[in-house]
């Protein structure tokens, strides 16, 4: 067991301060992140919500509704910009870091466990870069930590925590809110509340489970389970009531329980459940940070020094991680952001392992401390969570830092950093500027809708033009399942609300989403109804990068064409 006198060592102060500075630096980096495709979708749906519309019915996507509400909150308080959601994301992360440090101090004896944990959690979050952050999992991870820290799992000084039923209820609310972002996260509260029951049933065989034992003067396991379940159901029920009041329950059902399961099945083709599980666990353990296998190995190495309370806490964290990974494996896509909710929990385990190593070092000699201070930071950057971008994490961080020190990121730098995986952020912005310029020629004139046949809905938002249809991108019409139904609805939308302009995108194949390698241009050839509408009522105005812009009558003035990129 760890010696209590190590908690007061002055040598702990410097690492704690450095971890805090480390976290602050990368939070500033996160504030500079722009939108990727997904963030553009969420922003356009959020815009629809604030205009009185509903997700799925008025602005279509297949993610759970919680992420749209968060983007709407950011837009409501911080305006229609790219940085509002990043500010809200950082507020969540700061609150999460405070909870991790406070919880770790109460549960783990090594004082630095929480500080090392937040440093790793924020490092991985920043390494995921713009595309894989501000995702449902990004916020779901913080809400999971809030639920874990609220749950009255451990008694203090042989006494029951105050108001345990209320705390179980609030913990359930946090997990329920996380479930509105990613369904599997909702079960975290139910998993935790079962641990006191496990302590009663298995405590004699597994003595460390007694740390979960419900105090004799407490409410009992079944009341706690009811309180947690009620809390978990509460936000889900409120969301269902919101959709019911707006007459959109059928739209929600069709997207989440009909379209999305077919999308999920794409990743199962040719792989057994065992293959998928292996891929998911190995990817989590080795694919994003070298500190993860190191820290967990250290935790196992020093396991004999852990108290029963610490072992019980580690078990609770492992169970939540397993729940998260089960959801990632079930999705079978293994996108980087799918692990986003798991890193704060993983960081708690890794932070404990590294803190145990630190205490071993300060008990040994200054040479051990020096070796720790040199080797551990180096290991941080031997494997990065940054994926799918042209530059390394250190290079992108250097570009952002130099730009901030020089007065801020220019639009050109921002667009270069946000142009990855077939997305040309500069071209998107220039197409949007085209509409801004022609709209500025007729101030006060009502803005007519436009229609994008492609996968860049952010143009709607940047151009400040309404969409002609609920389908803000064309995956539903390109996917094999429900294709004709979705096409019929699209054509009905376009007939009821004819677009002034149609923008056709090329070179945007999405086999992981649509199940085929056709881009939007190729998919149009197999969509005779839309092709007939375009050929009969629209003329080409101009082409720019991967976009062809068509106008319903005469082409707009040439002066309004977007200028080439510098």
Same domain as 433, residue 295:
no
Same domain as 376, residue 429:
no
Give the domain extent around 491: 425-560
pLDDT score, position 263: 87
Same domain as 321, residue 261:
yes
User: Residues near 353 by Cβ (< 8 Å), separated by ≥ 6?
Assistant: 294, 295, 296, 297, 298, 299, 300, 301, 302
Q: Which of 380, 411, 443 finishes a domain?
A: 380
Same domain as 352, residue 222:
yes
> For 67-110, how does the pLDDT look when each residue is reduced to its tens digit (9 = 90+)?
999 999 999 999 999 999 999 999 999 999 999 999 999 999 99
Looking at residue 556, what DSSP letter applies?
Answer: P
Same domain as 263, residue 135:
yes
Residue 105 tokens, joined: 């101090």
From the number of C-beta atoms within 10 Å of its C-beta (0-12, 13-18, 19+), residue 559 rates as exposed
Q: Which of 380, 398, 413 finishes a domain?
A: 380
Looking at residue 287, what DSSP letter applies?
Answer: S
pLDDT score, position 4: 44
The residue with tokens 């020093």 is: 302
Same domain as 476, residue 376:
no
In 3D space, the residue among 150, 151, 110, 155 whose CA is nearest the CA of residue 307 turns out to be 110
Q: Which of 380, 411, 439 finishes a domain?
A: 380
Domain of 475, CATH number, reads 3.40.50
Q: Is residue 186 part of a domain?
A: yes
Q: Is residue 417 part of a domain?
A: no
Q: Is residue 258 part of a domain?
A: yes
The residue with tokens 């667009």 is: 415
Q: Is residue 73 part of a domain?
A: yes
User: Residues near 443 by Cβ (< 8 Å), separated by ≥ 6?
Assistant: none
Same domain as 336, residue 471:
no
Give me the residues of the chain with pLDDT under 50, please: 1-8, 156-158, 555, 558-559, 566
Q: How many domains does the chain have?
A: 2
3-state SS assignment for residue 194: coil
> For 343-368, how does the pLDDT look when each residue is reduced to its tens digit (9 = 90+)?
999 999 999 999 999 999 988 888 99
CA–CA separation, 509 and 422 (whole Å): 9
Same domain as 235, residue 138:
yes
CA–CA separation, 32 and 26 (whole Å): 10
Same domain as 475, residue 327:
no
pLDDT score, position 158: 45
Phi-psi region of 163 (alpha: psi -120 to 50; beta: other; left: phi over 0): left
pLDDT score, position 209: 81
Q: Is residue 406 part of a domain?
A: no
Q: Is residue 389 part of a domain?
A: no
Same domain as 280, residue 140:
yes
Write the secondary structure of 99-144 as one string of H (helix), E (strand) and C (coil). Answer: HHHHHHHHHCCCCCHHHHHHHHHHHHHHHCCCCCCCCHHHHHHHHH
The half-sphere exposure of 316 on its side-chain side, counting CA atoms within 13 A, is 32
DSSP for 201-222?
Answer: HHTTTSGGGGGGPPPTTS--HH
CA–CA separation, 260 and 439 (whole Å): 37
Q: Is residue 15 part of a domain?
A: no
CA distances from 542 to 344, 388, 502, 521, 564 (A): 48, 31, 11, 16, 13
Q: Is residue 392 part of a domain?
A: no
Alpha helices in 3-83 (DSSP H): 13-31, 37-50, 66-78
pLDDT score, position 311: 92
CA–CA separation, 251 and 455 (whole Å): 21
pTM, full prediction: 0.92
User: Residues near 297 by Cβ (< 8 Å), separated by ≥ 6?
Assistant: 353
Same domain as 358, residue 432:
no
Same domain as 457, residue 368:
no
pLDDT score, position 2: 43
**Residues recorded for the chain:** 566
């Amino acid at each position: 067991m760890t010696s209590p006198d190590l908690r007061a060592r002055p040598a702990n102060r410097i690492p704690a301060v450095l971890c805090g500075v480390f976290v602050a630096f990368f939070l500033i980096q996160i504030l500079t992140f722009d939108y990727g495709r997904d963030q553009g979708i969420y922003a356009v749906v959020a815009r629809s919500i604030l205009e009185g519309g509903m997700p799925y019915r008025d602005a279509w996507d297949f993610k759970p509704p919680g992420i749209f509400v968060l983007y709407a909150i950011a837009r409501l308080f911080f305006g229609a910009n790219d940085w509002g959601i990043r500010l809200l994301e950082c507020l969540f992360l700061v609150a999460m870091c405070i909870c991790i440090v406070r919880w770790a101090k109460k549960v783990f004896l090594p004082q630095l466990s929480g500080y090392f944990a937040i440093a790793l959690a924020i490092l991985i979050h920043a390494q995921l870069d713009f595309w894989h952050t501000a995702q449902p999992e990004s916020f779901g991870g913080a809400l999971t930590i809030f639920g874990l820290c609220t749950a009255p799992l451990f008694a203090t000084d042989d006494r029951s925590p105050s108001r345990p039923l209320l705390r179980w209820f609030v913990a359930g609310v946090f997990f329920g809110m996380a479930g509105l972002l990613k369904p599997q996260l909702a079960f975290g509260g139910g998993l935790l509340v079962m641990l006191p029951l496990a302590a009663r049933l298995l405590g004699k065989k597994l003595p460390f489970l007694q740390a979960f034992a419900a105090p004799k003067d407490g409410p009992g396991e079944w009341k706690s389970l009811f309180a947690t379940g009620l809390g978990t159901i509460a936000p889900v029920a409120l969301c269902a009531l919101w959709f019911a009041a707006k007459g959109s329950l059928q739209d929600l059902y069709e997207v989440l329980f009909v379209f999305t399961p077919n999308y999920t099945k794409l990743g199962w083709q040719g792989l057994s459940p065992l293959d998928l599980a292996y891929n998911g666990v190995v990817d989590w353990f080795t694919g994003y940070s070298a500190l993860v296998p190191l820290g967990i190995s250290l935790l196992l190495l020093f396991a004999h020094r852990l108290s029963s309370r610490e072992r019980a806490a580690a078990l609770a964290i492992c169970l939540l991680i397993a729940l998260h990974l089960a959801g990632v494996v079930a999705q079978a896509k293994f996108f980087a952001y799918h692990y986003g909710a798991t890193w704060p929990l993983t960081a708690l385990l890794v932070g404990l392992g590294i803190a145990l190593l630190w205490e071993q070092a300060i008990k040994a000699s200054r040479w051990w401390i020096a070796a720790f201070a040199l080797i551990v930071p180096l290991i941080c950057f031997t494997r990065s969570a940054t994926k799918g971008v042209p530059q390394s994490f250190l290079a992108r961080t250097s570009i952002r830092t130099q730009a901030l020190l020089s007065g801020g990121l220019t639009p050109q730098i921002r667009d270069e950093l946000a142009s990855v995986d077939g997305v040309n952020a500069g071209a998107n912005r220039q197409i949007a500027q085209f509409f801004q310029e022609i709209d500025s020629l007729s101030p006060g004139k009502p803005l007519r809708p436009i229609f994008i046949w492609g996968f860049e809905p952010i143009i709607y938002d940047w151009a400040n033009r309404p969409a002609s249809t609920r389908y803000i991108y064309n995956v539903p019409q390109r996917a094999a399942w429900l294709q004709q139904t979705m096409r019929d609805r699209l054509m009905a939308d376009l007939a009821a609300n004819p677009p002034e302009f149609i923008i056709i995108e090329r070179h945007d194949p999405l086999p992981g989403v649509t199940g085929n390698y056709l881009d939007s241009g190729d998919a149009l050839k197999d969509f005779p109804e839309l092709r007939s509408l375009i050929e009969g009522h629209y003329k080409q105005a101009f082409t720019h990068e991967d976009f062809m812009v068509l106008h319903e009558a005469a082409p707009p003035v040439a002066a309004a064409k977007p200028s080439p990129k510098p």
